[in-house]
Each structure stands twice: as structure tokens, then as C-alpha cells.
């Protein structure tokens, strides 16, 4: 199944958060929602992504966004992750993968030549009317908030790794060349 596309109506959901409260997309009517899917609590890349969103949470809120993380982890796992990383937003426990199926984020993956099913790291930015405004498929965990806010600039072009060779001229060599040039000029004037 493919991810939902920009312009699609975001499917509503009713999934428990870390405290067991049922969260619905309709709870956020009139607000923009960042719905980010991630594979697993407390893993290195997922932690980097969550912490980047945590560190930029106030900026995202000022821009009108509410952040919701989604994984197949349990509410208890989410509670530990939130407490450890001091996350200010809710994490949804989609243990039955209903949201994953609705958004197309339960995909076949491959690691070390072995195929398995898992969560795609993808973010849906949903506007105030419940329409998918943006789909970020290539999430860069360290700068994810900037991706959401549209502040990501293209990376600088890679330059050649070869360094220019330093000019090795000693004072004597420079002086000899100068003397030769001066000597030639003087000889041509005669």
C-alpha cells in the first residue's frame, strides 16, 4: 500500500495515547497537525527525531501545529519514552495498526537481506480542514522540525577533497627569479 497523498482527506482515527485516553483527529479540528510515524520507542534514530521535535515544540506550536507521534509500541512503552526524553507531546499506541493501515505506513522493509513488515518513518502535515498538506517521506531526524516548517535548504554542494598544493618558494628562490628578471630587463635596455 502506498502512503496517502497531498490533497487527500486525512483518515480519522481513535487510538489511545500514552495515558490510555482515546485521541481522534477530529479533536484537533481547526488546528494543523503533525502526525509523525516512527518505528520504535527509545531507539537511536527515533529518539533523535523525537528530541528534535521536543526542542522545537514551542516554535511548531507558534506556527499553529500540534504534534502527535505514532508507533505500534504500547502505551506503557510510550510513557517510559516520554518520561525519559521529557517529550511535551502525545504518542499514540497504534498496537492494532489501524492508523498504519489507513495511512499506508505499515510496509515491507529489509535489513541484512531479511524482509519484514514494519513502520515507515514518514510524517503527514494535516491542515485545519483535515486535508493532507504535506507528506515528508525522507525524514531527516536531526532537522525534522525544520523540514516541517519548510526551512530546510538544499545541502551545500560537495567540493573536491583535493587541497590546492601549497606554493613552496623559499626567499632565496624568489630572490633569484627576481634578479634574473631584473637582469634580463636591464640587458634588453642596452
Query: Alpha carbon of 107 to those of 9, 17, 67, 138: distances in Å?
Result: 21, 22, 23, 15
Instruction: Copy the grid coordinates of residue 178.
Output: 627576481
Q: What are phi and psi of 74, to 5 degrees?
A: -80, 165
Strand ranges (DSSP E) for the chain?
14-16, 22-24, 32-37, 65-71, 90-93, 106-111, 114-119, 122-126, 132-136
The helix/strand count (H/E) of the chain reads as 6, 9
Q: Buried (b) or exposed (e) across 83-103, using 16+ Cβ within 10 A?
A: eeeebebbbbbbeeeebbebb
Whether 46 is catalytic is yes
Catalytic residue, from 34, 46, 60, 82: name it.
46
Residue 20 burial (C-beta neighbours within 10 Å; 0-12, 13-18, 19+): exposed
Please list the active-site residues.
46
Amino acid at each position: 500500500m502506498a502512503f496517502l497523498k497531498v490533497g487527500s482527506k486525512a483518515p480519522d482515527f481513535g487510538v489511545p495515547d500514552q495515558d490510555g485516553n482515546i485521541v481522534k483527529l477530529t479533536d484537533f479540528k481547526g488546528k494543523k497537525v503533525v502526525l509523525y510515524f516512527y518505528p520504535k520507542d527509545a531507539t537511536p534514530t527515533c529518539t533523535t527525531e523525537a528530541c528534535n521535535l521536543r526542542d522545537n515544540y514551542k516554535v511548531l506550536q507558534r506556527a499553529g501545529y500540534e504534534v502527535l507521534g505514532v508507533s505500534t509500541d504500547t502505551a506503557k512503552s510510550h510513557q517510559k519514552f516520554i518520561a525519559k526524553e521529557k517529550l511535551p507531546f502525545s504518542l499514540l499506541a497504534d498496537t492494532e495498526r489501524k492508523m498504519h493501515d489507513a495511512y499506508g505506513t505499515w510496509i515491507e522493509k529489509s535489513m541484512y537481506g531479511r524482509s519484514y513488515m514494519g513502520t515507515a518513518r514518514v510524517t503527514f502535515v494535516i491542515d485545519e480542514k483535515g486535508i493532507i498538506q504535506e507528506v515528508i517521506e525522507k525524514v531527516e531526524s536531526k532537522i525534522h522540525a525544520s523540514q516541517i516548517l519548510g526551512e530546510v535548504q538544499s545541502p551545500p554542494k560537495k567540493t573536491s577533497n583535493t587541497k590546492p598544493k601549497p606554493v613552496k618558494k623559499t626567499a632565496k628562490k624568489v630572490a633569484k627569479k627576481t634578479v634574473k628578471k631584473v637582469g634580463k630587463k636591464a640587458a634588453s635596455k642596452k
